[in-house]
Amino acid sequence: MKNLLYILLVMFLVVTSCDHDEPTLKPSGGEEVGKEHEQEVVVDNLIICNEGNWQSDNGQLSYFDSQTLTMTNKWFRQVNGKKLGDTPNDIIQINDTLIAIAVNWSNIIQYIHPDGTECGATENVPNNRKMCTDGEYLYVTSYAHVCGDKTFEKGYVAKIDVKTLQVVATCEVGWEPEGVRLYKGNLYIANSGGYSFSEFGHDYESTICVVDAKTLLAKKVIDTGCKNLYGEVSQAGKYLCINASGDYYDIGPHTVILDCETEKVTVFDFPSSYNTTDGKKFYTVGSEYSYYTGEYKYHIHTIDPVTKDVADTIYTAAVTEKIKSLTSPYELYISPYTGSIYFTDAKSFATAGYLYGYSKEGEELFEGQKVYVNPGHILAVE
C-alpha cells in the first residue's frame, strides 16, 4: 500500500514538474541558441561550493547544468538527503569519479561522485583548508595541531590515499597553512599565520614550505618577504600566484609569483584575494582593506608570470566592467575545459550570492544565476 502511494506520488510529481518545466524551457533561448552552445562548448557544468555562514551548518553545493542552463541549489542535500556541514572552503576534482570537499568547521573531507552522490569522508584532518591532488593522493592543509594521534606545534599538511580515504602521512609546516600546490613531486604550501590576530605564540607568516610529496618530508622554506599568505593559490605550469593579505594596518597587501624551478619570487604591490589561471596567465581580483580608513579598494589585474607584465583588465572590457560592478566579489574561476571565466558576488554575505559566466571572448554565457550564501568556490566538471 505504501509503495503504491509512493509510486503514485512520484508519478504525480513527475507529471506536475513536467508541467512546470515546459514553459521555463522555452524562453531560455530556443533550439538555435542551445545548439550553438553545444557546438562551441563554452559553457561548463559547474559545482559551486557555498560556504554559508559560520556555525550555521548551512554549507551548500549548487549544480549548474550547461545543457539546460539551470541551477540546482541545495544539490548535496537533494541528492544525498543530508546536510553537507559547516563552512566548506575548498572543492577539487581528484579523478574521473571522485571530488573532494573540505568542510572546514565540520572537520570533514567529504567525497562525492561527479553526480553528487556521497562516497565516504575523512575525519582525521580537522580545521582543513585547501587541497591539491595527483589523482592518487589528496594533499590537505590544516590549521589544527592534531591529526589522528599525531600532534603538531604549528599547522600541517596531510596526505590521504584516495583508495582508502585514510591519512597515510603528515608533515608539519608553518602556522595556519593555506594554499597547497604540487609541482614536479614537491608540494608548495603557503603559510598565513592568520590566527596571530588572537594567538600570542606567533606572528603572520611570510613563508612557503616545500615538502616532498612522496615521503612528505620537509625540504626547505622559501621566504617571500610578504606577510599573511592567505587565500587561494593558482598554478600555471611552474608558476604559483599567491595572495599576501598583509596585516590590514601598516603592512599592505601584495601578490607573490613563485617560480618553482628557480624558487625566485616576484612581488607586486596589489592583492590577489581571488585568483585563477588559464594555464598561462594569472587573473586576479584583490580587495584591500584598511582598519585605519575603514575603506575598501579593489584591484583587477592580469599577470603574465613569464614577462611579469601586468594589465588592469581581465579578458575583455565587458568582463572587467562586470567584475567591477559586483558588490562583494567572492570567487574567480577559469574552466580548464573551455577557458570560460566564472565569478561570484557574495552581496551582503547574508543573502544568496550570484554566479556569472563569460566566454574568453567576453560574451555573457548566461544570466546571473542565484546560488546560495557565500559562493566561494567553483569547480567545472565534464
Partner 1 sequence: MIRLETYNTRASLERIRWKSLFVLLTIIVCSCIRPISAQTIFRDSVDLSEVVVKAQRSYNPHHTISRKMIIALPSNNVADALKYMAGVQIKDYGGLGGQKTINVRSLGSQHVGVYIDGVRVTNVQNGTVDLGKYSLSTLEAVSLYNANKNESLMTASEYASASTVYLTTKRPDSTSVVLQASVGSFGTYKAATTVSYKNYGFVDVAFASSKGNYPFEYHTQYEDTTGRRRNSDIRTIRVEGCGFYKGVQIHLYHFDSERGLPGGVIRRLSDTYTDVGREWDKNTFVQISWKEVKENVGLRAILKYANDYLHYRSDYKENISVHANNKYHQQDIYGAISGAVGLGDWNFSASTDYRWSDLTTDVRNYKYVYRLDSKSSLSAFYSCNNFSASVSGLYTRVADHTKGEAKPLSRFTYNALASYVLGDWTLRGFYKSVFRAPTLNDLYYTLVGNRNLKPEYTKQVDLGFTYKNKWVDFQTDVYYNKVEDRIVCLPLKGSYQWTMLNYGYTRCLGVNTAANVRYGSHAVMISGTFQDDRNKTDKSEESYNDYIAYSPKWSMTAIYSFERRGVSASISHMFVDKRYWTAENAIEEPLEAYNCTDIKVGYKYKNMTAESECQNLLDERYEIIQRWPMPGRRYTLTLRYEI
Closest approach of Cβ 83 to partner 1, in Å? Answer: 5
Closest approach of Cβ 76 to partner 1, in Å? Answer: 10
Closest approach of Cβ 228 to partner 1, in Å? Answer: 9
Q: H or E segment at 269?
A: none
Q: Go through 138-158 and write b for each residue having 16 or more CB atoms within 10 A of its CB, e for each that does not.
A: bbbbbbbbebeeeeeebbbbb
- Of positions 95, 351, 361, 364, contacts partner 1 by CB under 8 A: 351
**What's the CA gap between 199 and 94, in Å, rounded?**
34
Residue 58 is a binding residue for partner 1 (CB under 8 A): yes
Toward partner 1, which CB reaches closer, 146 or 306?
146
Cell numbers placing 273: 584575494
Torsion of the alpha carbons at 83, 85, 86 and 90, rounded to the nearest 10? -120
Toward partner 1, which CB reaches closer, 37 or 377?
377
Q: Which stretch binds partner 1 (CB under 8 A): 99-107, 183-191, 257-265, 358-366?
A: 99-107
Closest approach of Cβ 127 to partner 1, in Å? Answer: 5
For 25, phi and psi rounded to 5 degrees? -70, -40
Residue 144 is a binding residue for partner 1 (CB under 8 A): yes
Does residue 81 come out as left (phi exceeding 0), alpha (psi in the -120 to 50 range) or beta?
left
Residue 375 is a binding residue for partner 1 (CB under 8 A): no
Residue 256 is a binding residue for partner 1 (CB under 8 A): no
Cell numbers placing 265: 619570487
- Of positions 68, 70, 72, 127, contacts partner 1 by CB under 8 A: 127
Residue 13 is a binding residue for partner 1 (CB under 8 A): yes
Residue 150 is a binding residue for partner 1 (CB under 8 A): no
- Of positions 207, 273, 277, 359, contacts partner 1 by CB under 8 A: 273
Q: Is 2 helix (H, G, I), strand (E, B) or coil?
A: helix
For 380, residues 6+ apart whose C-beta sits below 8 A from its C-beta are: 44, 45, 46, 333, 335, 336, 337, 338, 342
Residue 347 is a binding residue for partner 1 (CB under 8 A): yes
Closest approach of Cβ 38 to partner 1, in Å? Answer: 32
Closest approach of Cβ 140 to partner 1, in Å? Answer: 14
Toward partner 1, which CB reaches closer, 67 or 348?
348
Q: Is 206 helix (H, G, I), strand (E, B) or coil?
A: coil
Question: How many residues are there in the chain?
Answer: 382
On the 0-12 / 13-18 / 19+ scale of CB atoms within 10 A, 68 is middle
Q: Which stretch binds partner 1 (CB under 8 A): 37-45, 62-70, 133-141, 346-354?
A: 346-354
Torsion of the alpha carbons at 354, 331, 70 and 365, rounded to the nearest 10? 100
**What's the CA gap between 290 and 297, in Å, rounded?**
9
Residue 3 is a binding residue for partner 1 (CB under 8 A): no
Q: Which stretch binds partner 1 (CB under 8 A): 161-169, 190-198, 310-318, 335-343?
A: 190-198
**What's the CA gap between 382 and 369, in Å, rounded?**
20
Closest approach of Cβ 312 to partner 1, in Å? Answer: 17
- Per the DSSP assignment, residues forming a β-bridge with 112 are 99, 118
- Of positions 28, 97, 166, 348, contacts partner 1 by CB under 8 A: 348
Q: Which one, of 260, 243, 157, lies nearest residue 192 by Cα? A: 243
**What's the CA gap between 200 and 129, in Å, rounded?**
22
- Per the DSSP assignment, residues forming a β-bridge with 25 are none
Closest approach of Cβ 306 to partner 1, in Å? Answer: 26
Residue 198 is a binding residue for partner 1 (CB under 8 A): yes
Q: Which stretch binds partner 1 (CB under 8 A): 21-29, 39-47, 79-87, 262-270?
A: 79-87
Residue 251 is a binding residue for partner 1 (CB under 8 A): no
Residue 190 is a binding residue for partner 1 (CB under 8 A): no
Q: Which residues bind partner 1 (CB under 8 A)?
A: 6, 9, 13, 55-58, 73, 77, 81-86, 103, 105-108, 121, 123, 126-127, 143-146, 151, 194-201, 230-231, 243, 245, 248-249, 271, 273-274, 286-289, 291-294, 296, 328-329, 346-352, 370, 372-373
